[in-house]
Amino acid sequence: MMAGQPVIILKEGTERNTGKDAQKNNIMAAMAIAEAIKSTLGPKGMDKMLVDSLGDMVITNDGATILEELDVEHPAAKLIIQVSKSQDKVVGDGTTTAVILAGELLRLGGELLEKKVHATHIVSGYKKASEEAQKILEEMAKRIDEPKKEKDILIKIASTALNSKSVSNAKELIANLAVDAALSVLEERDGKITVDIDNVKILQKQGKSLSESRLIKGIVLDKEILHPDMPRKIENAKIALINRNLEIEKTEFDAEIRINDPLSVQAFLDQEEKMIREMVDKIAETGANVVICQKGIDDLAQHFLAKKGIMAIRRVKKSDMEKLAKATGARIVSNLEDLTADDLGEAGLIRAEKIGDDHYVFVEECKNPQAVTVMLRGASKYTTDEAERAFVDAISVVRDVLEDKAYLPGGGAPEAELAVKLEEFANKLSGKEGLAAKAFAEALRVIPMTLAENAGFDPIEKLTELISAHGKGQKYVGLNVFTGEITDMTEIGVIEPLRVKKQAIKSASEAAEMILRIDDIIAIKSSEGDKGGQAGAAGMGGMGGMGGMGGMGGMPGMM
C-alpha cells in the first residue's frame, strides 16, 4: 500500500502460498506419493491397476511405471516423480525405495520444522548424512574380481530384482535370460567393462506361456521375405546391409521424354532393366546370399535377386539395421559401388517363421553377437508387458554389477546398517545439524519396516530385531520376508547392486533437500479455462488423477 493505494504486482488469479503453509503443502504432497506406492515394496508387495481416461489398463507393481502413469498436478509431487524417473534411467531399479525414502525424509523434516529448526540446518544435516551414507555403503559392499565368471552371483542379483515382480513364478528363466543377454552385449576396453542394454532387442509375442520365452543370439525382424521364389531358410548366411533404394532413382524434377519410334520405348525399358540387373549382379559378386535393405526394393530387383537365390528383406528400421551390424559384423553400405566381400556379415542361420498372424525373420547363430534379441511370450498383453518391465529391471541390475563389480545384501540390511552407523555419526555433529542427521538415520528404517509390514509381520518387532543384530556388528543380516527370520542375506542369495542403493539414497536426499528449501509457491493461472481449472483443483489439492489418495484436503488450490 502506498498512500492508501494498493500496488498490484502479480497477475489476477495468481495464487501464492508462503512460509509454513508452502512447506506443509509440499511435504504432504510428497508423502501422498510415497504412501501411494508403499504397498508395492518387496517380494510380498501388492500390484496396482491403473486405468486411464480411454479405459486402457496397466497392472504392475513397478514403482517407476506406476508413477509415470499417474496424472499429477502438484509441483512437489512432480519433483518426487522426477526422482523415480532419474532412478529408473540411471540404474534401472530401486525406484520404490527412493520415493518411499524421500517421503519419509520429508515427513521427519516437517517435524523438525515444527520444532523451529530452520530448513537450512535440516538441509545441511541431510547433506552430511547422505555423504556419510555413501561412504558406509562403499565399505559394506562385497567386491567381485571377474564378474563375467561369477554367473551364479549375477543370477542371484537378477533374481532378487525379480522377487518383487508379479512374474516371479518365472524368475529363474527371466534371470537367466537377463544374465545371458548382458554377457552377450558386454564390451571390455582398457580393462573397463561396459554393457549397453540398448543392444538387447525385446520382442513381445502373445501366445504360449512365459516359460517359452527365449534368447536369440542374433536379431529377429518383424518382416517377411519379399518374393515367393526366394529361399525361406539359409545356412551360413553372408549378409549385405544396404541403406539405399534398389530401384531406379526417380528425378526430383518434372521431365518429359519424346519417343517417335516404338522400338525406342523398348530400348528405354531395357536400359532400366539393365541398370537394375547390374545392381543385383554387383551384390551377387560379393558372395552375399542375403540382402537386408533399409529402403525400398523394386519388383524387378526382387525378381533378379530371387533368380540368383538371394533372400531379400526391405524397409527395415534404422535401429534394427544398427543392431544387425553389431550382431553379424556387417557394415551398413550406402553406395553399392563400395560394397565388397569384407562388408558382409555372417550368421549361422537365417529363416522365416510365422508366429500367429505375424511374419518374422530370424537372423540367429551369430558367432560373437554384440546385439541379441529376447522374445517374451505370454498369454496376454498384460503378461508380456509386465514380463518386459521385469526383464529390463533384471538386465539393468546385472549391468550395474558387471560395471561396478560390487554388490550389497538385500532385505533391508543396508538401510539397517546405515541407521545404526548414521546414528553414531549424528552424535558427532553439533547443534541442529546433528538433529537432522538423526532424522536421516531414522528415515532409513522405513524400508525394513515397510518390507515387514507388506509381508504381514509386526514391523516394530522385526525392526527392533534387525537393528539389534546390526548393533552387534552383523552387518549383512536382513529380513527374510518369506519366513520372518532375521538372516544373513548373502547366504540365502538376496543381493543387490551397490549402484542401486547409492543412487536411491542420493536421489531421495536431494529431492527432500530441494523441497524443504521452498518457502514460497507462486502459481500463475492461464487466463483461459481458469474457472474449470480452479474447480478441478479444489478439494484434491491439485493432485488430479490420483483418486483414492485420501487425506489431501489440506492442499487446496495448489496446482
CA dihedral 193, 149, 200, 192 (to 10 degrees): 0
Tell me the backbone φ, ψ of residue 60, rounded to 5 degrees.
Answer: -160, 165
CA pair distance 113, 512, nearest whole angstrom: 13
Which of the following is catalytic: 393, 404, 487, 490?
393
The cell for 259 is 519417343
206: amino acid identity, one letter: Q
Query: In a 10 Å sphere around its CB, with 0-12 CB exposed, 13-18 middle and 19+ buried, how is residue 53 labelled?
Result: exposed
Which of the following is catalytic: 96, 373, 383, 384?
96
Which of the following is catalytic: 95, 383, 384, 450?
95
**542 to 280, 281, 452, 512: CA distances (angstroms):** 63, 67, 32, 20
CA pair distance 550, 556, nearest whole angstrom: 13
Tell me the backbone φ, ψ of residue 522, rounded to 5 degrees.
Answer: -115, 110
Other CB atoms within a 10 A radius of the CB of residue 160 amount to 25
Catalytic residue check, 298? no
**How close are the terminal C-alpha atoms of the chain, in Å?**
28
**367 to 329, 364, 370, 454: CA distances (angstroms):** 9, 9, 10, 46
Catalytic residue check, 281? no
2: amino acid identity, one letter: M
CA pair distance 382, 414, nearest whole angstrom: 33
Catalytic residue check, 62? yes
Nearest 5°: the CA angle 386, 387, 392 is: 100
Q: CB under 8 Å to 107, separation ≥6 — which residues?
A: 27, 31, 443
Catalytic residue check, 95? yes
**360 to 48, 200, 374, 386: CA distances (angstroms):** 34, 17, 14, 23
Query: In a 10 Å sphere around its CB, with 0-12 CB exposed, 13-18 middle and 19+ buried, how is residue 83 labelled?
Result: buried
Residue 276 near residue 298, CB atoms below 8 Å: yes
**158 to 152, 270, 381, 486, 524: CA distances (angstroms):** 10, 61, 23, 22, 46
Q: Which of 136, 135, 109 is nearest to 123 (CA)?
A: 109
Residue 411 near residue 480, CB atoms below 8 Å: yes
Give catalytic residues, as residue numbers.
62, 95-96, 393
